[in-house]
Structure 1
Amino acid sequence: MKRSINRAAVIGSGVMGSGIAAHLANVGIPVVMLDIVPKELNGEEKRKGLSLEDIEVRNRLALQSKQALLKQKPSPITSKNTLKLIETGNMEDDLDRIHEADWIIEVVTENLEIKKKVMAAVEDNRKEGAIVSSNTSGISVEAMAEGRTAEFQRHFMGTHFFNPPRYLKLLEVIPTTKTDPEVLQFMKVFGENVLGKGVVEAKDTPNFIANRIGTYGLLVTVKEMLESGYSVGEIDSVTGPMIGRPKSATFRTLDVVGLDTFIHVAANVYDQVEGKEKEVFDVPDFMREMLENGWLGSKSGQGFYQKRRENGGSAIYELNPQTLQYEERRKLKTAATETAKQQKGSRKKLKALVEAKGDKAGDLVWSILKPVLIYAADLVGEIADDIVSIDRAMKWGFGWEMGPFETWDAIGVQEAAARMEKEGDRVPDQVRDMLARNDGSFYKTEGGGLYYYHRGNYRQQEENPREVDLKAFKTSQGVIQKNTGASLIDIGDGIACLEFHSQNNAIGLDIIQMVNTALEEVDKNYDGLVIGNQGKNFCVGANLAMMLMEAQDDNFFELELVIRKFQEMTMNIKYSNKPVVVAPFNMALGGGAEVALPAAAIQASMETYMGLVEVGVGLIPGGGGTKELYLKELRNLPAGVDFDLAKAANDVFEKVATAKVSESAAQARENGFLDNNDRISTNPDHLLFDAKRRAISLAEAGYRAPAPEKVPVVGDAGYAAMLLGAKSLEYSGYASSHDVKIAEKLAYVLSGGRIREGSLVDEQLILDLEREAFLSLIGEPLTQARMQHMLVKGKPLRN
């Protein structure tokens, strides 16, 4: 049976329900969101003279949840336009509407009896073959399906999203014993390819995989803090990036999650396990007292941390669990933490800490790591079939860089097991079995393949053809050419990939050189080029520190050369004989956007934050970005509409002058950085594959370099209009005189100089104006102060 999900229904419009509905809308799936009918009027409804029978009242909960999506931070929606795909209703009047849905997701309160009642109602209204799932975070999926028909049960499973659904990668899929394997497989593929998730199959056990281990690890850490006398701040200073965990570490994570949510999740396991495991899931008394006080974390304004305004600024205080008073935040600084900081990579940092016996930080890390490693190894086969699923769940759900079994390998399985035995701990059976076979690690590479330990043998990990691993390609194919800033890699099928790997992927002469080298190589020997990488961000712009240093040393000849080379590079991308596809993700700012804009096509990740932000450091774009954004604006005008040069110029002027950055790829399209020729990848792991496929399709379609463009400009009249807008902001107190100077330079570039409106000019003229403006501004002391402030403080200076 060929399946597809064209429409969906979400039952329950709370934080998770509305977040799931928003994510479905983000990927283009229309969804109806239903909730219960309120039992009483609120104040506003009373003032309006409404009754409980009015549709506005009956639909209130779902409607309010939909409206709240606009206010939440971070935003659950990629664009305001996605809200059009979410319809609202209630479970009494509109339950028959789920008959239209191909997938029905239940997201009501975590109560088995309530969920079973909802399933009975769903069964009465769904169409045959529709998939039904529960977003439960730990209630038995098997129990929920009891009493339903065989046909219903074949199409039923758990689908546990992590909050917020737009941003967190993990989707745990939990089949029952009666779930049709074909339906399960469809949902796993759909979750990965359409929803953009990392999908893990879990067993129907308390809290499934990630919450089971993650909650255990957090509680172990809390109890170690209490027993050994560490402070909240000391724990967080060591249990974050230093051991390969998120910056939120332990207690900041709990504040973000919410103490009420965390205690509920812990109680779910506590109620269903026995013995020592039950003891761990018994939440300490001081946390229950925090709950009673309403100290839930970020959503209540205080939790393990409290932010206070003082001395014209703000300070963060940590909770003392003994006194429940807030104190100055402390950090743990020892010889081991200093040694760990010098190591490169999380594996080496962690190993340095674990091996520092007798060091306060080293002992802390080992004390909280050891029980989690033992616990995870004991749960293989109970919560998931294999170690890969457990590792992925922890990385995708909790943001760990290494899952538990990758952590065993990082610190050394043999060494860790020996230390556990010496300290009187029980080494898990499967660790003993593996070591008895003289296999020293859970994962190993052999013959170019990755293998993992599974029930006494090593099983090859399946490769996902949609996941392009640049490190693997460099190992198997070698590097065509490289320098300090970038590498050119053969990624197969006639396509090469240029990978940036300078510090922060900042663009300097090394990357400029490699772009030009790559274009020459591809022109001779390949069908197309992808520009992309797998770093933290695509590219945050040019090398700001280098430019500031040159400007302060009055090396304007060198600066002019660099800017000219940058402009030539972007023009080479634009007029390449072979298609160039740029694959931006996360931050693609300033020079990063300028690399993307002239490409034959952009294949953007859904989470792409793109903008020309140079004004924030007192400059304007210097690599052709203003020109390319303006040309895209003109090309994007609807067919049959006359060019409105003034509107196009003003729109681009506003975006660049305000350093407007998109909050998603969809918003980048709305801002004009993407057009109908550009595409968006929902799953970030598929980005390079999609970009490669796009390059292949362009080449197969007979791609030819575009003809050189003449640029229609607004001239004197447009320049005056743009400058007037900037002056108005200055008169109103919203812009400084230096802001106006920057705006004046930008307006001059966009207008094409002091010429007649409607004139057609060469691209090179615009580039020359841009370069001159850039160089004049970088010589300004106020601009240099802005650049210095950004480098030191990481935020713009208004002067």
Structure 2
Amino acid sequence: MAKWVNGPFRPIRRAAVIGSGVMGAGIAAHLANAGMEVLLLDVAPQSLTPEEEARGLTTAAPQVRNRLAAAALERMKKAQPAPLYEPAYAERIKPGNLDDHLHLLAEAEWIVEAVVERLDVKRQVLERIEAVRRPGTLVTTNTSGLPVAGMSEGRSEEFRRHFAATHFFNPPRYMKLVEVVPVEGVTAAAAVERLRAVCERQLGKGVVIAKDTPNFIANRIGTYGMLVTLEQLERFGLTVEEADALTGPAMGRPKTATFRMLDLVGLDTLLHVVDNVRERSGDEKERKRFARPAMLERMVADGRLGEKSGGGFYRKVRKPGGASDIEALDLRTWAYRPRQSVRSASVDAAKAAKGAAAKVKALLDADPKSDHAAFAWETLKRTLLYSARQLGVIADTVSDIDKAMKWGFGWELGPFELWDALGLASSVERMRNEGEDVPEWVLDWLKSGHTSFYKSESGARLYASGGAYKREEADEDDISLAALKEAGKTVFTTGGASLIDIGDDVVCLEFHSQNNAIGGDVLQGVRRAAEEVGRNWRGLVIANEGRNFCVGANLMLLLMEAQAGEWDEVEDIIRLFQSSMGLLGKLDRPVVAAPHRMTLGGGVEVCLPADRIILSPETYFGLVETGVGLIPAGGGTKQAARLAAERAEGGGLGELQAQLNLMFETIAMAKTSGSGYDAGRLGLLRPGDKAIIRQDARIAEAKRAVLELDREGYIPQPERRIRVAGKEGKAVLLLAVEAMRLAGQISRHDALIAGKLAHVIAGGDVKPGLEVSEQYLLDLEREAFLSLCGEPKTQARMSHMLATGKPLRN
């Protein structure tokens, strides 16, 4: 379990979820991820399945009565993407049914209702919950837009004071946003704050407080944006592919853009959301904005619902041999055709720009008179104006609206941040010149001399609120490297890394190369950081705020040098990598790494020399070099041999071989963890390493670990000789490799790579049990890496990975 941070906090230990459908099961899984014991209840079936009949069961049998919740529990153990951090966490969930186990709700501290989206059904369930719950127990509904106040009608005052909506986004483990929706004037402030604290600190979520309005914040604005995109698509006569090219990463949004997202959500689901806003709105203009698009009605009538029906705006077509093609719907003929690539000055400029703000400006400015730029402007303009009109209606602050769109829809910039990026004053002037009705509060804000909705001041972020700037609330554990850099806390910066003062005489080394790949510019930063920290600081954190921590070494550079036959250059790169990691391991100050998301290959090798590793929950950790025909050579194979030897300390050669086999398998099969909690399964972590559930707290927790090590009187680990399995241990590994090759499980080139790995990790052809130096293993590592770089099939694997992002088996 994660260590709770941020001061005094009373975590919830027992929870219950009512409803075991997709959302209910997903919520139950994530509550279990957070260490809660969860009761998962659903209705008791009134009839038998054919399988149950064949087994001679009756409707009174517990297996039948608990069938729905038990089946959901079994599905979550196998589901992909996995709802559980570790499969073993399923043991924290107890399935049951509402008739036999309703009384157990009295033991729960938090009850989540997640039944079908029907107001009458939810009211009935809440009535049953009230009959057994203890006073003071939190009760929430997971709804995407039903009226929360109406749901709690008829319940007692005490119940309603502890009742709100907690709108989780799907899938609950992975989506950061939870919209907490209190009943205005009824839900107790203490209950709202308790829910916020539990969701943020215990579940690791980002919470916004939404008003009890149709579809709340994110779905309200997101749905409106999709309707505008559909409208402008028809107006400009663009293809589906063109619209997606313009409304995806080019606007700082996910690759699913608009129409791929609609296919994932389901076109019928979108119509349901649209209907909910229109039918519940008392504003005639709002009702018109949420009219049903004829295009969607036709597609739903035709059964083109998206992925769940086999096709929507796109469909996947299987080809002979098992491969597949993606086809797109031609809106002129209503027939599918091969998906087309999109090229234009606007799209190309956006692709070339760095960062969401620069991308959007490039999209609009590269060819401003083109249909692509006009389409982008119209969709953006309308979405920004709509968001501004909703301030005070769906949420009280621009900050909450922006956070909801970033956390719920994956936007890199929320609407008001995006408006700032475009230039608030100039874009408003353009809107007014085009006859748009700009909300009065925005005009007043500009008249008062303000030029943006956000600004930074002394390292803090301020946002527009009531005619003045208001300080954005920041948890003490939410260390923002970007804000610290804006506040002038950068100690130094190189082309690929920066050292930042994060307080209390601790600094953070941040990578910011392309994709955070490790090249000479990053390694220069590592070496300079080691020198600086050794002289002037209490310790070092290694972390960053990129999309991924580090996806490995600069593969393009290695491939270019290898193809050119510049072997001295390749060897120099590897020597630099190895020696730089050695500096981290020998530093006389504590070093703590805080990886997140993709932490692969060289990213792991950066973490392994650290005294501690603090992983975020979504850390996908692994030495994956074999996937590109190589082995870890930044000290990773040496570290694996060292870990095996340390775990076998005090045991014989048999124990050493057993530990070595595990490490060899992890690297040879390029295994990666499914979460930060799962990383220990790979054998790459030490007892002091841990995962924490709050992604945003990882840097602060790493800093805390540095200070703790420093207070204990930090002494760096002395270099130790490493006991290796030698020639006989290597033979054992090679025997397993050959058996796999003969069985057709691996290719000859796979076997060649595995053989090189076996030679290094076993310590070469020395006597079994011999203790060797770290440098000896590093030399073996480097030699093996260089020889593999010269293999044409390895170069083909490297080229394929660079071109497709996928491994090649050759």
Q: TM-score, normalised by structure 2?
A: 0.95
Output the CA distance in 2 between the equivalents of 1:676 and 1:261.
Answer: 47
Output the CA distance in 2 between the equivalents of 1:634 and 1:291.
Answer: 61
Please state if 1:288 is matched with 2:297.
yes
* Pairing partner for 1:278 from 282, 287, 290: 287
For 1:251-301, what per-residue CA distance to the aligned partner results, in whole angstroms no more than 9, with x for missing partners?
A: 101111222322222221121114232123222234234334443222332
Output the CA distance in 1 between the equivalents of 2:638 and 2:362.
Answer: 51
For 1:52-107, what per-residue CA distance to the aligned partner results, in whole angstroms no more than 9, with x for missing partners?
A: 11111111111111111133222212211111111111111111122221111110
In structure 1, the gaps of 5 or more residues are none
Matching residue of 1:133: 140
Please state if 1:307 is matched with 2:316.
yes
Quick check: 2:653–2:769 contact (8 Å CA) kept in 1?
no
Distance 1:149 1:299, change over 3 A: same
Please state if 1:564 is matched with 2:575.
yes
**Which amino acid counterpart does residue 730 of structure 1 have in structure 2?**
R
Q: Give secondary structure in 2 for the equivalent of 1:70.
A: helix
Q: CA deviation at 1:669?
A: 1.3
**Which amino acid counterpart does residue 146 of structure 2 have in structure 1?**
I
Quick check: 1:334–1:359 contact (8 Å CA) kept in 2?
no
Matching residue of 1:317: 327
Quick check: 2:538–2:707 contact (8 Å CA) kept in 1?
yes
Q: Give secondary structure in 1 for the equivalent of 2:17.
A: strand
**Which amino acid counterpart does residue 88 of structure 1 have in structure 2?**
P
Matching residue of 1:350: 360
Output the CA distance in 2 between the equivalents of 1:291 and 1:299.
Answer: 12
Please state if 1:216 is matched with 2:227.
no
For 1:652-687, what per-residue CA distance to the aligned partner results, in whole angstroms no more than 9, with x for missing partners?
A: 111111111112111211112223311213222222
**Which amino acid counterpart does residue 297 of structure 2 have in structure 1?**
R
Q: Give secondary structure in 2 for the equivalent of 1:410.
A: helix
Output the CA distance in 2 between the equivalents of 1:749 and 1:451.
Answer: 54
* Pairing partner for 1:199 from 196, 207, 213: 207
Quick check: 1:198–1:396 contact (8 Å CA) kept in 2?
yes
Pairing 1:369-518 to 2, within 5 Å after superposition = 369-446=380-457, 448-518=459-529
Using the TM superposition, name which of 92-101 and 287-296 deviates more.
287-296
Matching residue of 1:712: 723
Output the CA distance in 2 between the equivalents of 1:643 and 1:675.
Answer: 21
For 1:523-580, what per-residue CA distance to the aligned partner results, in whole angstroms no more than 9, with x for missing partners?
A: 2211110011111211111122222222233332332233223222223222322111
Q: CA deviation at 1:642?
A: 9.9
Pairing 1:242-281 to 2, within 5 Å after superposition = 242-273=250-281, 274-281=283-290
* Pairing partner for 2:63 from 49, 56, 64: 56
Q: CA deviation at 1:504?
A: 1.8
Output the CA distance in 2 between the equivalents of 1:447 and 1:512.
Answer: 31
Matching residue of 1:168: 175
Pairing 1:105-120 to 2, within 5 Å after superposition = 105-120=112-127
Quick check: 1:451–1:459 contact (8 Å CA) kept in 2?
yes
Q: CA deviation at 1:463?
A: 3.1
Output the CA distance in 1 between the equivalents of 2:159 and 2:507.
Answer: 48
Distance 1:285 1:44, change over 3 A: farther
Quick check: 1:506–1:542 contact (8 Å CA) kept in 2?
yes
Please state if 1:86 is matched with 2:97.
no
Output the CA distance in 2 between the equivalents of 1:32 and 1:702.
Answer: 46
Please state if 1:797 is matched with 2:808.
yes
Q: Give secondary structure in 2 for the equivalent of 1:558.
A: helix
**Which amino acid counterpart does residue 708 of structure 1 have in structure 2?**
E
For 1:703-751, what per-residue CA distance to the aligned partner results, in whole angstroms no more than 9, with x for missing partners?
A: 2111322322222332111111111111112222222121111111122
Using the TM superposition, name which of 37-46 and 655-664 deviates more.
37-46
Quick check: 1:567–1:623 contact (8 Å CA) kept in 2?
yes
Output the CA distance in 1 between the equivalents of 2:467 and 2:120.
Answer: 41
Distance 1:595 1:283, change over 3 A: same
Q: CA deviation at 1:761?
A: 2.5
Quick check: 2:641–2:722 contact (8 Å CA) kept in 1?
no
Aligned sequence identity (%): 48
Matching residue of 1:15: 22
Output the CA distance in 2 between the equivalents of 1:131 and 1:641.
Answer: 55
Distance 1:260 1:632, change over 3 A: farther
Distance 1:73 1:280, change over 3 A: farther
**Which amino acid counterpart does residue 237 of structure 1 have in structure 2?**
A
Output the CA distance in 1 between the equivalents of 2:721 and 2:601.
Answer: 24
Matching residue of 1:103: 110
Output the CA distance in 1 between the equivalents of 2:277 and 2:648.
Answer: 57
Quick check: 1:609–1:664 contact (8 Å CA) kept in 2?
yes
Matching residue of 2:5: none
Distance 1:637 1:606, change over 3 A: farther
* Pairing partner for 1:650 from 661, 666, 670: 661
Quick check: 1:636–1:675 contact (8 Å CA) kept in 2?
no
Output the CA distance in 2 between the equivalents of 1:223 and 1:681.
Answer: 44
State the aligned residue count: 799
Q: CA deviation at 1:373?
A: 1.6
Output the CA distance in 2 between the equivalents of 1:93 and 1:736.
Answer: 55
Q: CA deviation at 1:637?
A: 7.2
Quick check: 2:647–2:659 contact (8 Å CA) kept in 1?
no
Q: CA deviation at 1:306?
A: 0.6
Please state if 1:775 is matched with 2:786.
yes
Pairing 1:5-44 to 2, within 5 Å after superposition = 5-44=12-51
Please, what is the CA RMSD of the aligned residues?
Answer: 2.2
Distance 1:189 1:2, change over 3 A: closer
Stretches of 4+ aligned residues off by more than 4 angstroms: 633-643
Matching residue of 2:705: 694
Q: CA deviation at 1:641?
A: 11
Q: CA deviation at 1:160?
A: 0.5
Q: Give secondary structure in 2 for the equivalent of 1:271.
A: helix
Output the CA distance in 2 between the equivalents of 1:252 and 1:447.
Answer: 41
Output the CA distance in 1 between the equivalents of 2:154 and 2:527.
Answer: 66
Matching residue of 2:161: 154
Quick check: 2:117–2:143 contact (8 Å CA) kept in 1?
yes
For 1:570-595, what per-residue CA distance to the aligned partner results, in whole angstroms no more than 9, with x for missing partners?
A: 23222322111011111111111111
Matching residue of 2:345: 335
Output the CA distance in 2 between the equivalents of 1:641 and 1:295.
Answer: 64
Distance 1:743 1:45, change over 3 A: same
Q: CA deviation at 1:323?
A: 4.6
Quick check: 1:626–1:652 contact (8 Å CA) kept in 2?
no
Matching residue of 1:623: 634
Quick check: 2:268–2:300 contact (8 Å CA) kept in 1?
yes
Q: Give secondary structure in 1 for the equivalent of 2:219.
A: helix
Output the CA distance in 1 between the equivalents of 2:376 and 2:358.
Answer: 14
**Which amino acid counterpart does residue 315 of structure 2 have in structure 1?**
Q
**Which amino acid counterpart does residue 324 of structure 2 have in structure 1?**
S
Q: CA deviation at 1:232?
A: 1.6
Matching residue of 2:680: 669
**Which amino acid counterpart does residue 316 of structure 1 have in structure 2?**
I
**Which amino acid counterpart does residue 619 of structure 1 have in structure 2?**
L
Quick check: 1:4–1:102 contact (8 Å CA) kept in 2?
no
Matching residue of 2:590: 579
Quick check: 1:606–1:683 contact (8 Å CA) kept in 2?
yes
Please state if 1:239 is matched with 2:250.
no
In structure 2, the gaps of 5 or more residues are 1-7
Output the CA distance in 2 between the equivalents of 1:150 and 1:606.
Answer: 38
Pairing 1:221-232 to 2, within 5 Å after superposition = 221-232=229-240
Matching residue of 1:757: 768
* Pairing partner for 2:565 from 550, 554, 563: 554
Output the CA distance in 2 between the equivalents of 1:272 and 1:326.
Answer: 36
Matching residue of 2:192: 184
